[in-house]
């Protein structure tokens, strides 16, 4: 795997494969790689001729009180893991390369970025503005045929799909399933912040989502399914920042599960870590009964 730091070097590395019509896959990451990131790299390896991973801890998506300075970083280890997972090229730019003096542009997706994590009382829409701006830049710099994201960050995936559709980026977006620890905790670079006692409580989030999904599939209303989840969170001693059921495509609130796929999403602070997780419940509506002849 080759490591490049500048957009000129990136362009140079991709010139020949692009000219030869090779399929280019992009996996954007903030590093501190875990099995979730590696599943995206493997998916890209399976479908693309050239696998590009970007590694950039994007200051624009961190709020002033968030963990930018302390965000886990281990470039050497990430290089080993990405190489083993089959990446061909790592683009790891410096902040000044991405946001040079005079940088003044942002990409904003409205509506979808103002709910859940984007609620102004939480991370706020600025978080997603930082995400869409960096992803737009990476899509322009790499020019991939396919870009891979994780369902773990469900709202991010919805927002990126919207941006790509609205701005006609010529790329296919693939969203891969959430990879979990054996006890159900969704893999996250921020799990490194969990003290041992918090690490033990954290899988309560996954149990809560499972309880909500089971209730939904058994015909519960959204309110009842969320109450089932809430009980699991309570028993793990976890107070959610939010716990909501929304349409999985347009993120509008839902009251029942018999329409389109539903996203049940949770964010919670567990010790020093702010964790997010979700489950998607497909429609529970029964197919119409065929008339018996
Ligand atoms: P990050 O480095 O946290 O910005 O994540 C980079 C990409 O990996 C994003 O598309 C995430 O959604 C994805 N990702 C993070 N955690 C997981 C996970 N547990 N399973 C699958 N994908 C993940």
The predicted-structure confidence for 57-116, as pLDDT tens digits, reads as follows 999 999 999 999 999 999 999 999 999 999 999 999 999 999 999 999 999 999 999 999
**Other Cβ atoms closer than 10 A to 45:** 18
In short, whether 189's Cβ falls inside 6 Å of ligand 1 is yes
Q: Is the pLDDT at 291 greater than 60, yes or no?
A: no
Cα-to-centroid distance, 233 and ligand 1 (Å): 23
Exposure class string for 113-122: b at 16+ Cβ within 10 A, else e: bebbbbbeeb
Strand partners, 180: 186
State which ligand 1 atom lies nearest to the alpha carbon of 189.
3
Nearest to 52 by CA among 19, 77, 18: 18
The residue to mutate among 37, 192, 275, having the most atoms of ligand 1 within 8 angstroms of its beta carbon, is: 37
In short, whether 179's Cβ falls inside 6 Å of ligand 1 is yes
Cα-to-centroid distance, 153 and ligand 1 (Å): 7
In short, whether 37's Cβ falls inside 6 Å of ligand 1 is yes
Strands 24-29 and 146-150, bridge-based pairing: parallel
Cα-to-centroid distance, 189 and ligand 1 (Å): 9
What average pLDDT does range 124-150 have in this prediction?
98
> What gap in Å lies between CA 229 and CA 214, rounded to an integer?
10
Cα-to-centroid distance, 182 and ligand 1 (Å): 17
Using pLDDT thresholds of 50, 70 and 90, give the confidence band for residue 246: very high
Rounding to the nearest 10 degrees, give the CA dihedral for residues 178, 265, 185, 45: 10
Atom 22 (ligand 1): residue with closest C-alpha? 150
In short, whether 149's Cβ falls inside 6 Å of ligand 1 is yes
> What gap in Å lies between CA 22 and CA 117, rounded to an integer?
37
pLDDT at res. 284: 74
In short, whether 186's Cβ falls inside 6 Å of ligand 1 is yes
State which ligand 1 atom lies nearest to the alpha carbon of 31.
2
Nearest to 138 by CA among 173, 91, 83, 73: 91
Catalytic annotation present for 77: no
Cα-to-centroid distance, 128 and ligand 1 (Å): 15
* Residue owning tokens 């529970």: 284
Task: Look at residue 105 and give its three-state secondary structure.
Answer: coil
| DSSP H helices in 85-221 | 95-98, 125-142, 154-166, 196-201, 204-217
pTM for the whole structure: 0.96
Cα-to-centroid distance, 27 and ligand 1 (Å): 9
In short, whether 276's Cβ falls inside 6 Å of ligand 1 is no
> What gap in Å lies between CA 2 and CA 10, rounded to an integer?
10
Phi, psi of 91 (to 5 degrees): -105, 115
Overall size of the chain counted in residues: 293
Task: Name all domains of the chain by residue range, CATH numbers in brackets.
Answer: 2-176 (3.40.50.620), 189-278 (3.30.1300.10)
* Residue owning tokens 């590696």: 38
In short, whether 41's Cβ falls inside 6 Å of ligand 1 is no
State which ligand 1 atom lies nearest to the alpha carbon of 178.
20
Structure tokens given for 91: 């683009």
What average pLDDT does range 218-238 have in this prediction?
98
Strands 89-91 and 50-55, bridge-based pairing: parallel
CB of 264 closer than 8 Å to CB of 277: no
* Residue owning tokens 């624009």: 60
Strand partners, 264: 245, 279
pLDDT at res. 182: 98
Strands 273-281 and 262-270, bridge-based pairing: antiparallel
Atom 17 (ligand 1): residue with closest C-alpha? 36
Phi, psi of 266 (to 5 degrees): -135, 145
In short, whether 152's Cβ falls inside 6 Å of ligand 1 is yes
In short, whether 44's Cβ falls inside 6 Å of ligand 1 is no
Q: Which of 37, 77, 127, 206 is catalytic?
A: 37
The predicted-structure confidence for 50-69, as pLDDT tens digits, reads as follows 999 999 999 999 999 999 99
pLDDT at res. 27: 99
Using pLDDT thresholds of 50, 70 and 90, give the confidence band for residue 287: low
> What gap in Å lies between CA 57 and CA 98, rounded to an integer?
11
């Amino acid at each position: 795997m080759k490591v490049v730091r500048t957009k000129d070097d990136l362009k140079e590395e991709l010139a020949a494969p692009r000219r030869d019509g090779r399929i280019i896959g992009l996996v954007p990451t903030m590093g501190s790689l875990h099995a979730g990131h590696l599943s995206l790299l493997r998916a890209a390896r399976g479908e693309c001729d050239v696998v590009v991973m970007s590694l950039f801890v994007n200051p624009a998506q961190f709020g002033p009180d968030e963990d930018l300075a302390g965000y886990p970083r281990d470039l050497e280890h990430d290089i080993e893991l990405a190489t083993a997972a089959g990446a061909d090229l790592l683009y790891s730019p410096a902040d000044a390369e991405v946001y040079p003096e005079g940088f003044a542009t942002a990409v904003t997706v409205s509506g979808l970025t103002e709910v859940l994590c984007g609620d102004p009382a939480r991370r706020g829409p600025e978080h997603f503005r930082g995400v869409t701006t960096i992803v737009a830049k990476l899509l322009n710099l790499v020019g991939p045929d396919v870009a891979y994201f994780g369902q773990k960050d469900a709202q991010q995936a919805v927002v990126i799909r919207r941006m790509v559709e609205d701005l006609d980026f010529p790329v296919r977006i693939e969203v891969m399933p959430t990879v979990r620890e054996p006890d159900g905790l969704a893999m996250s670079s921020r799990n490194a912040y969990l003290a041992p006692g918090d690490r033990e409580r954290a899988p309560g989030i996954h149990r809560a989502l499972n309880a909500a999904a089971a209730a939904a599939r058994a015909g519960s209303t959204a309110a009842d399914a969320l109450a089932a989840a809430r009980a699991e969170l309570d028993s793990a001693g976890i107070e959610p920042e939010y716990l909501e059921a929304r349409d999985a495509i347009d993120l509008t609130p839902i009251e029942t599960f018999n329409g389109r796929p539903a996203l049940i999403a949770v964010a919670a602070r567990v010790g020093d870590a702010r964790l997010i997780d979700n489950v998607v419940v497909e429609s529970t509506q029964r197919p119409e009964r065929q008339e018996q002849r």
